Structure 1
Amino acid sequence: MKQAPFSSEKDDEYSSAYYKEGLVFCSNRRTDLFVTFSTPEDKELFNMFYVPIQGDSLGKAPAILSVELMTNFNDGPACFGANDSIILFSRNNEVNSKKRDTKDDRNKLGIFTSHLIGTVWNEPKAFEYNSKNHHITMPSLSKDGSQLFFVSDMSGGFGGLDIYMCEKVNNTWSKPINLGNEINTKGNESFPFISASGELFFASNGHKGLGGLDIFSSIKKNGKWQKILPIKAPINSEFDDFGLITDCNFESGYFSSNRKGNDDIYEFRTKFPQFSNCDTLKENQYCFLFYDEYYTPLDTLNTYYEWVFGDGMKIKGKEAEHCYEGPGNYEVELNIIDKRTGEVFLQQTKYEFELLDFEQAYISCVDESLSMHPIKFEASKTNLPTVDIANYYWDFGDGFLDEGIDVNHYYNREGDYKVILGILSEKDSLGCRKKICVEKTITINDNPTALIPMNLEDSNLQRNISSTGESFIGQQQINETSFRKSKLVQLPSNGISTMKAFSLVFFESFEKEKQFAKEYEEMYEDFEHDLNSNPAKALALKSHLNSRRKSNAKMHLIEKELQALSSQFQCSYIEAETQTMSDSATPILNRLLKILLTNPLIELKIGVHISKANSGNFDIAGKATQLIADYLVERGVDTVRLRTAVYETTFEEAGMKGDMNRLEFKVIKE
């Protein structure tokens, strides 16, 4: 960064704009064209000057942009459109008087437009929203000329000066729209510049910065301006910094600052691009529950179901959990196998299963490490098939930066650090690059002993497993033998494709918890052993355990809430024969709906347990579960996330008393 060569030591220069092969800027340097009036500080009023580019740098001989556009008042700032054949600039609404009273604020600023005819600018025309009651100034035109940004103190804003925007519709500017409180504050927002890539830069003294006016930026996603990003030093300083313009990649540009006393224009080049509003890293999912919703009568004595997953793996059963090693196209089959011959008796289903990674930049690193310990950061798993990547940039969150697909870094002190991986594409036909970024938080500790995981007996994984083979969860006792007597009843689909539940879900899930607890104990022993001899391995293990524990704790809370909703929901709320539901069910189902919408990976079983004495009510119970599923689907839940089931249960054997017909909501998997 350096002061532009045309900036003088004694005069003021500010608010530059790209024009032809150079810059147009505002300055109060003296001209000999005609006399303009001075301010009370004995300074000249501002005119618009043009300076051409000489080679790779700007020339040092600025000249008045246009005699036709000069007035006896302040002229500028300006912007240009239509291949530099249109100028939009700011000046006072009334410029016909021969003398200006500098204390008179009744002559408001407005925006005026002029067209270049040959080599001469024609008579400027006033912007249709200029007003005698408030200022309209500092225009910035989008690359395609469809949007005009400007500054105004019109009523209805958030503070002193706000930024507004108009859109061109049928060659007419729409009514000005305030950019909202994402951009505007109770302070002053000014000097907007919309870059060729659509990024908005502006100055503000209302947002938190380094002091005075600071420069900020924001981009618009899905119709909303994103969280603003302060431009880093040395562009921003404790002084007034404003009027930034840049190319579409923020690789070079100009800005104004009074850090040396006068307003001067500085030119800059960025060696490291800034990335803002980054996506949070999403972990790819390779494990799935495979099921088939259609019922086929099966002779279990002579046949069985078998899944073929297209990656060399097979699993017996109508439903099966399977994990793939990575993305790809897999041909999945569910076959009915003849036990005697081992051959396929009937192919139940067959389809192509395409497994894709999220399209994103991807950070591969540990979740937790020690200070002063090298950490490897990798971007090799980045999946951006439509982006021709030019380079990878790393911001480690501690003030250090690096670039490259694989880098190493260590932290000096403990804390949580937000790591950002930014990616720039190659330039397109207009010279612009795509910017993509993703962020991930890692934890750094000073003391290795602080990383010892919680004792197993203190974790959410604690379970009491008795030597009698009975499992205790909370105060509920379930005997393995009696639980396995639950009978699954397959129901007709009623025209809606829903998944059908399989029996023993609760017990199987519990068996997995016991296995995890066992793994945890074994890994905990490894952790204690490796803590001193191999800290890196111990930390990687700790990161893995923490990740699994956090997921388990979250699921524990969700399952607890679902249990509460199950106990509150009464079967009497539903009249299955008439397909109606009482108003009493609505609050419970809306809470259930919120759980599903805020946890999009959860799949839910809606089950009804009926006693043998009521076994004739299978169809009614099935309609009841379907009615609840319909309610959720109509409000945005994907049908493939819902499974319905009716169970014939010997409640007495399971030690359960009370109502023999009860409904339950239970997580199948997340």
Structure 2
Amino acid sequence: MNKRIVIGILLYILIHPHIFGQEETYIIEKTSFSSDKYDEYCPVFYREGLVFSANISANPLFNYSNSSNRGVFNIFYTEKDFEGNWLKPELFSKEIKTRYNDGPCAFSSGFDTIYFSRNLYVDRTLKNNAPARNKLGIFYSTLKNNEWDNVRAMRINNEWYNLTSPYLSPDGKKLYFASDNPDGHGGLDLYVSDWKGNYWSNPVNLGPVINTEGNEAYPFVNQAGELFFSSDGHGGLGAKDIFFTRLSGDEWISPIHIDSPVNSAYDDFGIIADPLMKEGYFSSNRDGTVDIYHFYTLIPQVFHRSIQKENQYCFVFEDSGSVVIDTNALKYVWAFSDGKSETGSRIIHCFPGPGDYEVRLDIVEKESGRLVCHKLRNIIHLKNFEQPYIDSPDCGMTGEILQFSGLESYLPGYEILNYAWDFGDGTKDLGFNTNHVYPKSGEYEVNLGLELKSDSTGKLMRTGISKNVKIFSNLQQKIEYEKRLNSAESVLVDVLSYPGAKLETVFSVEENLRQGAVFRVELLTSENRISNNRVIRNVPSKYMIDEVANSDSTLYSYFVEWQLDLMATYPAYKEMHQLGFDDVVIKAVVLTDPPEKDLYNLRKIYSTSADRCFNNTYVLTSHALIMLDQVVNLMNRYPEIKLEVGVHTDSSGADESNLGVSQRRADTMVNYLINRGIRSNRLYAVGYGETKPIAPNYFEHDRKRNRRVELRIVND
């Protein structure tokens, strides 16, 4: 061992002399009421004392619960005197005592109902009672006038197999027990029955995670719903050992072996404990007979071993791409409430820590930086994972003093009462901060266990977390490992897929489009109506101005244009800005008026390309006729509306010629509608020529977009 390792270990021993080399988690002692002559087992808490099963003063000739012929078992009670000494056990109740096996038992939280195991038939004489058919079942009785009254059999009992060692959950809603039902996984299996308000449900096997081909029995459930049981099928130190498990979602976690000296090379079973397992009792035959032992916890054993999740504050933000923009003219700008901003459709942003942050995505002009469209506004609620947290290096060197802290644990609603550390090399410690030295290289699982108290209920519980720490004896290997680790951590996720981030959408263009929105150019907003204002009168007559009273504010908005995609409104946006509307912006406005919604759907279904509507200059195509027939249906459905049929051209040809062509085409469509029965005073034919392009006229695919037909509802 080199000099640096020796110095590190010596320093650590000086800092933690009471922990170094500590192996035992518990200390145990046999209770004074346990005898060397009889068997006592399966204690349960009852008021100020303990209730347990024993064969004290039993007739040794008959026994139907075990093969050792040590006599039948009855239920006994003991408590401590004023000096803290256990009193001599007494028969718990003569009302429930039989000549056969009574117990183990369990009580309701108010100690007014007892559930206990005993032989099904107790009225026969001992000689005539055949053990093979007189199985064990579960019975219950209620306390009335200080006497246990009206013993009744559970309906789930069966004369073909045993039900025994019942335990009632603290809330009284679940009854756990063991049974050798032949449909199980092995010998004795654990089952649970649920209270349905006025009856117990059919038993359900706890499944192969808990039950084995061997025997599982003697369940105990604490206030946190954690299950302790005994098994000879999960391996361990001896015959029967005690194990711990709990539900994770709907599944039981793999059973965890209780440390020695609670478990031993002998039969250990029938454990009970306080909510934090600081002390309790269990049964063992390690001293010749079955006795009840008292245990104290020196350093809490960490049962909860969920893998630690690392909190993340850096995320990828990416535009969905559902709204197409011309990236030659426009760009995306992300703005964050922490004061930072980024440009691009896909960016990376790092928040300073957990908290609530506003995120905005705007579309702006590249050259001028003017706002074109508010695309997105979200509130991100970024939280640390609700978990114990081990704050420590991910790796270290042998002999190096590593610092471990649990102060970053985030468990809202709970007070942390105690911190317990298991460093994975046989050493343990207590406290929210601690140091540790690993003398050997390797990968160690560090466990942090917390004892908690609920702020709202005062309920005590435990939880824990685990983290792997890699220890090297070669410095270069450690450096290379850290490089690989940093490279892996640099893989970021989209904020939408991060479980620690909750997204609250305040506004989204995509969401509005899903609800049937169209893109409109908002000129301005005002608290007062300004329809006849001279500013509004500056808008060219080719644009129809709509006044909209905002339902979520007292403002009036003034709009022009009505398009299905954003870029089609951009030319109008630029023209309005040139006219002096400095606050002009493009918005995705959800249509609420039924006629407008139906017209919107019609425009989405039928192509409004002029090339598809006219065979040559003025003759309507079959596509146009089908579309116009749907317009007839629309106007008949809403007889109060008026409609503008607007026809547009590209910039090819002379201005006056284009204007004439578009007007004649509009007249052709309107005449068809009139011939189909629509009154002429409800229709307007407008030829716009090339005056309202929605795309540049440089390329044919853009010119084709400009050659279009637009149907608009006209407000008087």
Give TM class, smaller chain: 0.5 to 0.7
The one of 79, 86, 89 equivalent to 2:116 is 89
Amino acid at match of 1:152: S
Q: TM-score, normalised by structure 2?
A: 0.60
Task: Give the alignment's TM-score, normalised by structure 1.
Answer: 0.64
Could you say which residue in structure 1 is the equivalent of 2:418? Answer: 391
The aligned counterpart of 1:119 is 146
Counterpart mapping for 1:164-243 below 5 A: 164-243=191-270
Checking the alignment, whether the CA contact within 8 Å between 2:76 and 2:89 is kept in structure 1 is: yes
Matches within 5 A, 1:446-461: 446-451=473-478, 453=480
Corresponding position: 1:28 with 2:55: yes
- Which residue is equivalent to 2:42? 15
In 2, the alpha carbon distance for the partners of 1:299 and 1:16 equals: 76
Q: After the TM superposition, which of the residue ranges 317-326 and 411-420 deviates more from structure 2?
A: 317-326
Which amino acid in structure 2 is aligned with residue 118 of structure 1? N
CA contact (8 A) 2:302 2:420 kept: no
Would the alpha carbon gap of residues 71 and 449 (structure 1) be closer, same or farther in structure 2, given more than 3 Å must change? same
* AA of the residue aligned to 1:332: V
- Give the aligned partner of residue 469 of structure 2: 442
Work out whether 1:153 is the aligned partner of 2:153. no
- Aligned partners of 1:42, 1:357: CA distance in 2, in Å? 59
User: Aligned residue for 1:364?
Assistant: 391
* Cα separation, 2, equivalents of 1:104 and 1:298: 88
Residue 546 of structure 1: SS of its match in structure 2? helix
Kept after mapping to 1: 8 A contact 2:239/2:265: yes
Would the aligned equivalents of 1:200 and 1:218 in 2 still touch at CA under 8 Å? yes
Report Cα offsets for 1:472-520 as digits up to 9, x if no partner: xxxxxxxxxxxxxxxxxxxxxxxxxxxxxxxxxxxxxxxxxxxxxxxxx
Is the Cα contact below 8 Å between 2:315 and 2:492 reproduced in 1?
no
Cα distance, 1:105 vs structure 2: 2.4
2:485 aligned to which of 544, 547, 559: 547
Name which of 442, 447, 451 aligns with 1:420: 447
Q: Give the Å deviation of 1:224.
A: 1.8
- Is the 1:210–1:236 contact (alpha carbons within 8 Å) kept by the matching residues of 2? yes
Higher RCO, 1 vs 2 (CA within 8 Å, ≥6 residues apart): 2
CA 1:204/1:338 → structure 2, altered by over 3 Å: closer, same or farther? closer
Q: CA deviation at 1:41?
A: 6.7
Question: Which sections of structure 1, spanning at least 5 residues, go unmatched?
Answer: 454-541, 556-618, 620-670
What count of residue pairs does the alignment treat as equivalent?
A: 463
* Higher Rg of the two aligned structures: 2
Closer/same/farther in 2, CA of residues 119 and 421 from structure 1, 3 Å limit = same
- In structure 1, what is the Cα distance between the partners aligned to 2:456 and 2:264? 35
Q: 1:407 aligns with which of 418, 425, 434?
A: 434
CA change 1:306–1:257 in 2 (3 A) is same
- The answer for the alignment partner of 1:321 in structure 2 is 348
Q: More displaced, 432-441 or 96-105?
A: 96-105
Structure 2: distance between partners of 1:237 and 1:204: 13
Which amino acid is 1:212 matched to? A
| Counterpart for residue 378 of structure 1 | 405
Cα gap change, 1:50 to 1:451, in 2 (>3 Å): same
Higher mean C-alpha displacement, 99-108 vs 370-379: 99-108
| Distance in 2 (alpha carbons) for counterparts of 1:428 and 1:288 | 33
Q: Secondary structure, in 3 states, of the residue corresponding to 1:421?
A: strand
Whether 1:5 aligns to 2:32 is yes
User: How much has 1:360 moved relative to structure 2?
Assistant: 2.1
CA distance in 2, matches of 1:323, 1:393: 33
Q: Give the Cα–Cα distance (whole angstroms) in 2 for the partners of residues 188 and 305 of structure 1.
A: 65
**1:255 corresponding residue in structure 2:** 282
Conservation of the 8 A alpha-carbon contact between 1:37 and 1:72: no
Per the alignment, residue 25 of structure 2 pairs with none
SS in 2 for 1:258: strand
Cα deviation 1:68-106 (Å, max 9, x = unaligned): 222222221111125111111111111123334798422
Cα 1:25–1:389, aligned 2, differ >3 Å: closer, same or farther? same
| Cα 1:308/1:277, change in 2 over 3 Å | same
Structure 2 Cα separation of the partners of residues 305 and 155 of structure 1: 68
- What residue identity is the alignment partner of 1:274? Q
User: Structure 1 60/370 Cα, relative in aligned 2: closer, same or farther at 3 Å?
Assistant: same
- Conserved? CA contact 1:51–1:58, under 8 Å: no
Alpha-carbon offset, residue 336 of structure 1: 5.5
Give the equivalent residue in structure 2 for 1:73: 100
3-state DSSP of counterpart to 1:198: coil
Q: Which secondary structure state, in structure 2, belongs to the residue aligned with residue 54 of structure 1?
A: coil
| Cα shift at 1:448 | 3.1
How has the CA–CA distance of structure 1 residues 47 and 338 changed in structure 2, closer, same or farther, with 3 Å as cutoff? closer
Listed one character per residue, the Cα deviations across residues 295-315 of structure 1 (whole Å, up to 9, x for unaligned) are 4756957x7554332223233
SS in 2 for 1:547: helix
Say whether residues 1:129 and 2:168 are aligned partners: no
**1:156 Cα shift?**
0.7
Q: Secondary structure at the match of 1:139?
A: strand
Question: Does the residue aligned with 2:287 lie in a helix, a strand or coil?
Answer: coil
Query: How far 1:452 moved relative to its partner?
Result: 5.3
Letter in 1 for 2:86: G
Decide whether the 8 Å contact of 1:151 with 1:161 is kept in 2.
yes
